[in-house]
Each structure stands twice: as structure tokens, then as C-alpha cells.
Amino acid sequence: MHIRNKLLLLGCITLAFTNTVFGKVITGAERMEEYLHLLKGKRVGMVVNHTSVVGTQQVHLLDTLLHSEIQVVKVFAPEHGFRGNEDAGATVESGKDSRTGIPIISLYGNNKKPTSAQLKDLDILLFDIQDVGARFYTYISTMFYVMEACAENQKELIILDRPNPCDYIDGPVLQPAYKSFVGMLPIPILHGCTVGELARMIQGEHWIKSTTLPCPLTVIPVTGWKHGQPYSLPIKPSPNLPNDQSIRLYASLCPFEATRVSVGRGTTFPFQVAGAPEKKYGTFCFTPRSLPGYDTNPINKGVCCYGEDLRDSTQVQGFTLRFFLRFYNRSGKTPAFFSRPRWFDLLMGTDCVRKAILNGATEKEIKENWKNELQAYTAMRQKYLLY
């Protein structure tokens, strides 16, 4: 099927479609015929990381644009840095790309949003980062701040879309009181969108409140992929999500990060195991270490953790609390199991889940509590789908 030179408009959002190739996924970044002409003669800023590659040779988009004589002025880097090798939560320093000399500005740490001064010498921004479909994965928080900055400063923004490798809709919808960098948007834990669709949603639902001006936004969609189709990432999106299984389990294991239970940080199988330093949690044992490139200071470092090996688990479809509830029950159902209760609530986007667990609710009962809001979100989401 070929769709040529077709523009779909949603408010001030431009969507460019051409040359759908079934059986082969072509990312927005690889569809250069759709956006290269928009960059010619303009001063370009890029919001990219190590996942921003094109072609079978996996050439970085920055190198590709420079080869095409595009004037790239600077790069903005999200959590984990431009090369994707920083620990989760680590301060990412600004600097210069060693290969090209292009200035790199960190959008993690104290400077999460591009400032007017940082945007002053730019005409247009290009966003190309692989997401994994979970609300607390901070690349989409960075995208929100970039959209907000572009709206405030009336800078053009192009989103180069990529498939969602964990394409489910599940979990509680974030409540306003629990907005943070691990939850910027009123969406469920698994939002079932690509970054391009989320950008359309942000725009269409008027979630940018700092200005009445819309973000001048263009989305370059993926071709050869649609919702419900599996997608295996060619490059790990961050140090502790090294494979498909870790991405599949990420949303369900991330709540453990508000406890003393390790999810395998400091091992070669992060987000594929769970364990704590007591034998009551299970028979599988692993010991977190300082691993450069994964995690240099993991929880329970140097201590044998007992728990569960989930590397071969095929039971997870979407978001589940059953692993968390098993460990909570084995702990003796003590409130102290939540070593960081506020962090748990921020990850969940509500305090209702933690309170329900403390009150002895089952997973089925907990999920019933967010059923209606999930239905409302699913209906709203339909307006912004591209695939």
C-alpha cells in the first residue's frame, strides 16, 4: 500500500505519511524524505540519545544530518545522557560530543527543560528517542518539557516517531497531586501510545498550561507497524533495559524501587529478577555488584538477595501487581515494606494503590478501582492514534 504526499491536520499538528512498507518497520527518523527539506537552511537543535539511529548500519541521526549538510547547532540529552551510558537518576553533565564537537546540553538534573536562552539561536528542534511505553520512563517527561519550551518560545518541533515495544493500556491514571518527573501526564502506567501519539495527545488535550500558544508540531510517523504488533528494539533504550524481557517486565517490577527489594540492578539481568536479603522471599539467589554501564551503586550491593528469577516468565501481558503483592505478603504484610512510600505513590500516580495494598486488597480488587478511569482514557486516546 502506498500513501503519497498526504497531510493530515490536527489543530496546528502536521502529520506526514508516505510509502508504507508492510513487513518492514521504517522509523520516522529513517523517512528522511519527509522532513529533511524542513531542516534545510535552518539552525537545528536535536533532542536525541543513543537510540537515535537510522538504517541497517545503525548510523546516529546526528552524523546522518551533518553528512546531509544540515546545520545542527546543539544537542539536548535526556536521562542516561547522549550516549545512553549514565546510571538511572545520575546527574548528566553538559559538554561536547567527542566525535563532532557539537555542544551537548543535559536535560536531566537541574535543567530538565530547554531555556529561552538555549533556544534563542535555534529555528527548529528535532526529537528522536525510543520510548518503552511506561509513564515513569522519563523520556516522555523530557518530550513534554521540550514541547512546553517550544510552545513558549514558538520554535518548531518535529517528532520522529518509533514503535511502542510494550504496547498495552493498563494501570492507574496519574492524579494531578502526584505529578512529577516520573509522571508528567494524566495517563495510565502503560499508556499504549508512541511518542508521536503522546505529543498529539498533549497538544489536543491542552496539557501545556504555561502558554495559550500551541507548540508548532510536526509528527513523522512510522510505517510498517501498527498497534498490537510486537516490536523488538535494535538498541537497548537505557542501561538497565537490555532486552525484550526486561522491557516486558519493567512496568510491573519498577514499583519495587520504592522498597528494599532489588530488581536486578547491578547484575547482567536487570528488571528480570526480584529479591531481598532474606530467604523468605524465595529460593533464587543473586548478588548485585557495581557494574559500570549498568549501575555503579545498586541497592543491596554485595549482599545475596533471595527471590524470583523471571527471565523465562511468559505470564506478563501488560501491568501486574502480582509480583509486588507476593513479596509484600512474604514480608509479613508490614507497612515498613514500603521504605519510600511517597516514591511508590509517585510511580503509581496515586496513593490509592498503596492504601489498598495495606488494607489487604487483592490485585483484582485494586484493578477494579481504576477500571472507569482507564476506560475514559482509552476512549480519549482513540482520537490521537496514528497506527
Tell whether 228 and 321 lie within a shared domain: no
Please report whether residue 370 resides in a domain. Answer: no
Q: pLDDT tens across 41-96, in order? A: 999 999 999 999 998 889 999 999 999 999 999 999 987 667 644 444 444 456 78
Q: H or E stretch including 381? A: helix 371-381
pLDDT at 91: 46
pLDDT at 78: 87
**Strand 6-10 relative to strand 217-220: parallel, antiparallel, unpaired?**
unpaired
Kindly report the CATH number assigned to the domain that includes residue 42: 3.40.50.12170
Q: pLDDT tens across 107-136, in order? A: 988 889 999 999 999 999 999 999 999 999
pLDDT category, 271, cuts 50, 70, 90?
Answer: very high
Tell whether 264 and 170 lie within a shared domain: no
Tell whether 216 and 329 lie within a shared domain: no
Tell whether 124 and 186 lie within a shared domain: yes
Tell whether 179 and 286 lie within a shared domain: no
Instruction: Tell me which DSSP letter residue 178 carries.
Output: G
Please report whether residue 363 resides in a domain. Answer: no
Q: Which three cell numbers stand for residue 375?
A: 476506560
* Residue 237 pLDDT greater than 90, yes or no: yes
Please report whether residue 373 resides in a domain. Answer: no
Tell whether 145 and 92 lie within a shared domain: yes
Q: H or E stretch including 157? A: strand 156-160
Alpha carbon 226 to its chain centroid, in Å, reads 19
Q: pLDDT tens across 299-337, in order? A: 999 999 999 999 999 888 899 999 999 999 999 999 999
Tell whether 38 and 91 lie within a shared domain: yes
pLDDT at 14: 47
Q: H or E stretch including 217? A: strand 217-220
Tell whether 207 and 252 lie within a shared domain: no
Q: Which three cell numbers stand for residue 33?
A: 524524505
Tell whether 213 and 284 lie within a shared domain: no
Please report whether residue 365 resides in a domain. Answer: no
Residues 241, 293: Cα–Cα separation, whole Å: 11
* Residue 162 pLDDT greater than 70, yes or no: yes
Please report whether residue 151 resides in a domain. Answer: yes
- Span 213-217, average pLDDT: 96
pLDDT category, 293, cuts 50, 70, 90?
Answer: confident
Tell whether 289 and 209 lie within a shared domain: no
Residues 248, 85: Cα–Cα separation, whole Å: 21
Tell whether 204 and 269 lie within a shared domain: no
Range of the domain at 54: 6-234+378-384
